[in-house]
Each structure stands twice: as structure tokens, then as C-alpha cells.
Amino acid sequence: MIFKKFTVGEMGNNNYLLVDNGEAALIDVTGTIPELDAVLKENNAELKYVFLTHAHFDHIMGLKALQDKYSIKVYMHQDEKEILDGTNNFLTAVGMDPIEIPTVDVYLKDGDKVKVGNAELDVIHLPGHTPGGVGYKYEHWLFAGDTIFMNSIGRTDLPGGNHQTLVNSIKERIFTLDDNVIIYTGHGADTSVEYEKKYNSFVQ
Ligand SMILES: [Zn+2]
């Protein structure tokens, strides 16, 4: 499997395109990725899936347009439904324009596997930033959404957030992975389990 990282939108969201054996999946969809069709073509791949790390608006706001253009199946954790359904209430409350809410095809739970081509990714439930946040793990790569960042952690002051739950997710479900696992975050730089165990002062 190969992947490409795209940084999209005003909040610097990282969206990841995974490609294996003629199939492609996007992890989170913030907006239009101008190079998307060219990259798909280059790799002889068809975009088939979207795997959401969570449903905050900055991770889903490009998804409805993508669904209109491609025939894709969207995957999200079952505990994230309230966040998705509440998107426009939240946006209106903070003075932002509502968005078109995407539909979800498959609801996930911890321990599920998702497939792109011949590659299987493990679904790891990482509640705390939101109730239904997940990481997707493939070999020594973890796509962790907004759970952990380099030297930082996800915010927990938004609806459904819980600081202690988030810290527990990181300690019990990320820091127990191999040290060499690279963490691909929802915003900002990549990091690793080894680095964060040593330097992340929010998780001690
Ligand atoms: Zn978020």
C-alpha cells in the first residue's frame, strides 16, 4: 500500500489518500484536492472508500461534493452519529455557514477491519476528542485523527469531548503500540509512538 498526504483547507487538515491494488480510499475529506484525479490515474486506482477518523466539520466538509462525484462508501464509528447530525447546529452557533451533511454507509466499531485493495487496516476506537473517534492502523502506520499531535493532544472542549477519556485512549491504545509506529495526525506534523511517549507532556 502507498499513501499520499494532502493538507487541505484553512485549518490545515491532513487528508490521506491510500492506494492498493487498483483501489483508493481517502481518510477524511476537508475539501477539494486538486491533484486527486491525476494521482488516481497515475496509480491506476479507483476511489472507492472514505474512512472518517471523526465527524468534526473540518474533516467532513468536502465529503458531500465527493459523494456527488464518485461512487464511494463512507465508513465512520457508530458512536460518532451525534456529532455528524449536530454539525449544522454547531456551525450556526459559532456563526459559520451550514454545510451539506454527507451520508454514512458503514458504521464501525472497535476491532473492525476496513479494506482497500488487498490491504487491511485495523479500526482502533480512540474516544475523547469525540465519542466515536477512531484510528486506522496499517502495519507501522497509524492514522489517528485529532487524538494526538506532535507534542500535543486533541481539544476536548467541544461537544462530546472528555479530557480523561482522551488521555486514556492515548495511554492504553496508542502508547501500547510498537515504538516504531508512525502517527499521521489530523493536523500538523507526523510523529511516532516512541517520540510522543518521551516528549508529550500532556500524557504522563
Ligand atoms: Zn476534530
Distance (Å, whole) CA 62 – CA 64:
6
Q: How far is the CA of 163 from the centre of ligand 1 (A)?
A: 13
Could you state, in order of their start, the residue ranges of all structural domains in the chain? 2-199
Q: How far is the CA of 59 from the centre of ligand 1 (A)?
A: 7
Tally the residues of the chain. Answer: 204
| C-alpha angle 24-46-115 in degrees, rounded to nearest 5 | 35
Distance (Å, whole) CA 201 – CA 204:
6
| CATH, domain 2-199, list 3.60.15.10, 3.40.50.720, 3.40.50.300, 3.30.70.2740 | 3.60.15.10
Ion ligand 1 nearby residues (CB, 5 A)? 56, 146
Q: How far is the CA of 86 from the centre of ligand 1 (A)?
A: 14
Distance (Å, whole) CA 171 – CA 162:
14
Q: How far is the CA of 187 from the centre of ligand 1 (A)?
A: 9
Neighbours of 103 (CB within 10 A): 9
Distance (Å, whole) CA 126 – CA 104:
19
Residue with cell 454539525: 87
Q: How far is the CA of 147 from the centre of ligand 1 (A)?
A: 8
Q: How far is the CA of 158 from the centre of ligand 1 (A)?
A: 9
pLDDT given for residue 204 in this prediction: 79
pLDDT given for residue 141 in this prediction: 98
Q: Which amino acid is at 146?
A: D
Query: What cell does 176 get?
Result: 501500547
pTM for the full predicted model: 0.97
| C-alpha angle 140-142-147 in degrees, rounded to nearest 5 | 150
From the list 74, 100, 201, the residue with the least C-alpha distance to 149 is 201
Q: How far is the CA of 61 from the centre of ligand 1 (A)?
A: 12
Q: How far is the CA of 44 from the centre of ligand 1 (A)?
A: 32
Low-confidence ranges of the chain (pLDDT < 50): none
Q: How far is the CA of 146 from the centre of ligand 1 (A)?
A: 5
